[in-house]
Amino acid sequence: MIRIEAPKGNYDYQNKYFTDDTKYHCPSGLPAKKEKELQALTLSAFRTVGCRGWGRVDIMLDSGANPGSSR
C-alpha cells in the first residue's frame, strides 16, 4: 500500500510526471488495522468486477482515513 502526498492535495498529470514535490509513502503510515480493512475492501472490489491475476485499486480517504464516496 502506498500513500501519495501531492502539493495542495492535487495529484494530477503535472504532479505525477513533472515535479519532485510529490511524495510516495511506503509503508503508507496508516495503522495496521486500517491497512487490513482497506486491503479487504480492495480485494472485494477486485473480485466483484471479475478481475483475475493482478490489478490496482485506487482509494481516496477522507480526513478520518475512511474511503471517500463519489457524492
Containing H/E element for 46?
helix 32-48
- Give the three-class secondary structure for 52: coil
Q: Do 39 and 70 fall within a single domain?
A: yes
CB proximity list for 21: less than 8 A, separation 6 or greater? 6, 7, 15
The single residue listed with the C-alpha cell 475492501 is 41
What residue numbers bound the domain in which 9 lies? 1-30
Cα–Cα distance between 14 and 4 in angstroms, integer? 14
**Inter-residue contact 42 to 59 (CB < 8 Å):** yes
Q: Do 23 and 37 fall within a single domain?
A: no
pLDDT tens track for 8-52: 888 999 999 999 999 999 999 999 999 999 999 999 999 999 999
pTM confidence score = 0.73
Q: What is the number of domains present in the chain?
A: 2
